[in-house]
């Protein structure tokens, strides 16, 4: 492993964005070291039964401002602008329209209380803002588990109100994971290369892996905070503040299951069905995404933890029971499990997306802060306003790359911050 100017650790959305940015704007030599046998990290499109299934990120959130939308256009990926199921009325099975209106009003009132509480100096868990005994509290909690990966009792109000979203959501027809993978094409990536130690005690930084040691002038660390917190990657000398920030930013859990549906014509296209509306532990089912004969189930928080423990078939069995309860038992024989995720059990992720522990929303800045002008940090958890997303990861990667280039006196400033354009034909 020959020495290079910059080592980027982790080839997820953030690491790929950082490496691409450096290649586009500087003459520095750059190498990505990736623990897995694939790039993309929590962006992962799996092909099953001829369908591209996004087991990680699936939606281009804030799509009209999202750099991945521009990259998709530039690389020739088709985008589907159909509004997401959660922005429209849900399937009426088990959820009559009058109840949906009542729930929507409860959600708006809750959002208003969260916004108000977010202006206060003291942070608190969002569960304190539920209406005591509110009919819709369990479903509000379930929504939080999908959006944040945790229920409201673990959700920091101060962190949540920092999140910015335009409300526009699109999808990449052949997969968000495929798009991010395509953006890595031509970069110098070493797969199956888990970094175990970063020795920054000397003039050159030594990056230690089971495949050898690389010396470099700067490191961009673009791995999930869980990996830093577990000390699977160690710093020499130790960085206790970085460790504390990573501990304050765990990953919540969201998992998906995909079912194929025989003869799906009786199901509406791109509609949402709730498995139940009276409990927290329920899946949300996206019927026929892209019009395909599929159902995409989504589970969050403690329910997802439980179902991961149940093993491979846990998600599908739970989903089929819930769907059959709402749409009739006959549908059982038409549903066939295709794939499910288990992000908590994934050793290189350890969860789905970050949340700040209550009282620790400032940990995002601490995690992102550079050390000694040569260790730089990126990844969705480092983003103050776009955390938990693939475009947030992208932006932190670009920022870290520009900071590293400046520190190495190699910054050309040729591209405006955040611009994904002028992708090299690699
Ligand atoms: C189920 C699910 C649904 C989601 N839905 C959406 C969505 O609709 N829209 C959206 O915008 N976002 C969504 N997200 C979140 C989005 O996928 C992530 O925020 C984003 O992909 C994170 O990118 P990252 O680069 O920060 O981290 P990662 O993708 O985790 O990349 C980190 C990389 O570091 C590697 N790594 C770890 N340890 C080491 C090591 N020791 N040495 C070398 N490499 C290492 C990992 O293998 C990985 O490739 C979803 C995530 C999940 C799980």
Q: Which residue's alpha carbon is nearest to atom 15 within ligand 1?
A: 389
Asked whether the CA dihedral 28, 33, 39, 42 is positive or negative, the reply is negative
178, 343, 353: residue to mutate for ligand 1 pocket, most atoms within 8 A of CB:
353
Angstrom CA distances, 342 to 300, 315, 372, 418, stand at: 11, 10, 37, 32
Asked if residue 237 has a cis previous peptide bond (ω within 30° of 0), the answer is yes
Phi first, then psi, for residue 295 (nearest 5°) are -125, 130
CA–centroid distance, residue 43 to ligand 1 (Å): 6
Q: Which residue's alpha carbon is nearest to atom 23 within ligand 1?
A: 13
Helices and strands, counts by H and E, the chain: 12, 20
Q: How far apart are CA 339 and CA 85, in angstroms?
A: 21
1: pLDDT strictly greater than 80: no
Atom of ligand 1 nearest to the CA of 354: 19
CA–centroid distance, residue 353 to ligand 1 (Å): 8
- Mean pLDDT calculated for residue range 379-386: 98
CA–centroid distance, residue 391 to ligand 1 (Å): 11
The pLDDT value given to residue 76: 98
Please report which confidence band the pLDDT of residue 420 belongs to, taking 50, 70 and 90 as the band edges: very low
Determine which helix (DSSP H) or strand (DSSP E) holds 252, and give its type and residue range.
strand 251-252
Longest dimension (CA), the chain: 68
Helix, strand or coil, per DSSP, at residue 5? strand
Is the CB–ligand 1 distance for residue 343 below 6 Å? yes
Q: How far apart are CA 376 and CA 317, in angstroms?
A: 43
Q: Which residue's alpha carbon is nearest to atom 33 within ligand 1?
A: 10
Is the CB–ligand 1 distance for residue 17 below 6 Å? no
Q: How far apart are CA 47 and CA 129, in angstroms?
A: 42
- Name the β-bridge partners of 254: 300
- Name the β-bridge partners of 295: 259, 287
CA–centroid distance, residue 113 to ligand 1 (Å): 31
Please report which confidence band the pLDDT of residue 412 belongs to, taking 50, 70 and 90 as the band edges: low
CA–centroid distance, residue 350 to ligand 1 (Å): 10
Q: How far apart are CA 242 and CA 115, in angstroms?
A: 29
223: pLDDT strictly greater than 70: yes
- Mean pLDDT calculated for residue range 155-181: 98
Structure tokens at 161: 């109100």
Residues near 50 by beta carbon (within 8 Å), at least 6 away in sequence: none
CA–centroid distance, residue 349 to ligand 1 (Å): 7
Is the CB–ligand 1 distance for residue 290 below 6 Å? no
Is the CB–ligand 1 distance for residue 86 below 6 Å? no
Q: What is the mean pLDDT of the chain?
A: 95
pLDDT tens string 183-209? 999 999 999 999 999 999 999 999 999
Residues near 205 by beta carbon (within 8 Å), at least 6 away in sequence: 7, 198, 199, 215, 216, 217, 218, 219, 374, 375
DSSP assignments along 289-351, one per residue: GGG-SEEEEEEEHHHHHHHHHT-TTHHHHHHHHHHHHHH-GGGGGGEEEEEE--TTT-TTTSS
Atom of ligand 1 nearest to the CA of 298: 1
CA–centroid distance, residue 12 to ligand 1 (Å): 6
- Name the β-bridge partners of 354: 251
Determine which helix (DSSP H) or strand (DSSP E) holds 74, and give its type and residue range.
helix 67-75
Helix, strand or coil, per DSSP, at residue 141? helix
- Mean pLDDT calculated for residue range 383-398: 98
CA–centroid distance, residue 130 to ligand 1 (Å): 31
Residues 243 and 231 sit within 8 Å (Cβ to Cβ): yes
pLDDT tens string 55-92? 999 999 999 999 999 999 999 999 999 999 999 899 99
The pLDDT value given to residue 320: 98
DSSP letter, residue 382:
G
Is the CB–ligand 1 distance for residue 13 below 6 Å? yes
Phi first, then psi, for residue 85 (nearest 5°) are -60, -30
DSSP letter, residue 381:
G
pLDDT tens string 121-130? 999 999 999 9
Helix, strand or coil, per DSSP, at residue 274? strand
Is the CB–ligand 1 distance for residue 34 below 6 Å? yes
* Strand pairing class (45-48; 51-54): antiparallel
Please report which confidence band the pLDDT of residue 331 belongs to, taking 50, 70 and 90 as the band edges: very high
* Strand pairing class (254-261; 335-340): antiparallel
178, 308, 344, 390: residue to mutate for ligand 1 pocket, most atoms within 8 A of CB:
390
């Amino acid at each position: 492993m020959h020495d290079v100017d910059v080592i980027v650790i982790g080839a997820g959305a953030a690491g790929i964005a950082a490496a691409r940015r450096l290649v586009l704007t500087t003459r520095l030599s750059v190498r990505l070291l990736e623990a897995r046998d694939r790039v993309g990290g929590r962006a992962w499109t799996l092909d099953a039964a001829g369908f591209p299934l996004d087991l990680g990120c699936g939606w281009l959130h804030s799509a009209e401002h999202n750099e991945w939308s521009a990259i998709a256009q530039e690389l020739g990926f088709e985008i589907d602008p159909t509004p997401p199921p959660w922005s429209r009325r849900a399937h009426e099975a088990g959820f009559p329209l009058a109840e949906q209106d009542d729930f929507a009003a409860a959600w708006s009132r809750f959002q208003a209380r969260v916004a108000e509480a977010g202006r206060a100096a003291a942070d608190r868990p969002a569960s304190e803002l539920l209406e005591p005994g509110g009919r819709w509290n369990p479903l509000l909690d379930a929504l939080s588990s999908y959006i944040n990966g945790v229920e409201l009792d673990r959700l920091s109000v101060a962190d949540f109100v920092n999140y910015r979203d335009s409300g526009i959501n699109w999808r990449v027809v052949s997969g968000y994971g495929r798009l991010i993978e395509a953006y890595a094409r031509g970069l110098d990536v070493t797969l199956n290369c888990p970094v175990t130690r970063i020795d920054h005690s000397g003039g050159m930084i030594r990056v230690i892996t089971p495949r050898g040691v690389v010396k470099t002038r700067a490191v961009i660390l673009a791995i999930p905070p869980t990996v830093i917190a577990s000390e699977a990657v160690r710093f020499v000398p130790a960085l206790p503040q970085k460790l504390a920030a990573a501990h304050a930013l765990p990953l919540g859990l969201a998992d998906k299951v995909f079912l194929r549906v025989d003869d799906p014509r009786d199901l509406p296209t791109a509609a949402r069905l709730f498995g139940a509306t009276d409990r927290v532990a329920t899946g949300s089912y996206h019927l026929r995404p892209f019009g395909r004969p599929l159902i995409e189930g989504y589970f969050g928080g403690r329910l997802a933890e439980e179902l991961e423990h149940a093993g491979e078939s846990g998600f599908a069995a739970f989903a089929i029971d819930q769907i059959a309860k709402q749409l009739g038992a006959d549908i059982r024989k038409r549903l066939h499990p295709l794939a499910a995720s288990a992000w908590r059990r994934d050793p290189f992720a350890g969860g789905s997306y970050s949340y700040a522990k209550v009282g620790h929303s400032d940990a995002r800045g601490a995690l992102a802060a550079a050390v000694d002008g040569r260790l730089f940090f990126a990844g969705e958890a480092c983003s103050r306003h776009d955390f938990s997303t693939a475009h947030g990861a992208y932006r932190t990667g670009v920022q870290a790359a520009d900071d590293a280039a400046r520190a190495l006196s190699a910054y050309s400033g040729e591209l405006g911050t955040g611009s994904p354009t002028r992708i090299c034909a690699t």
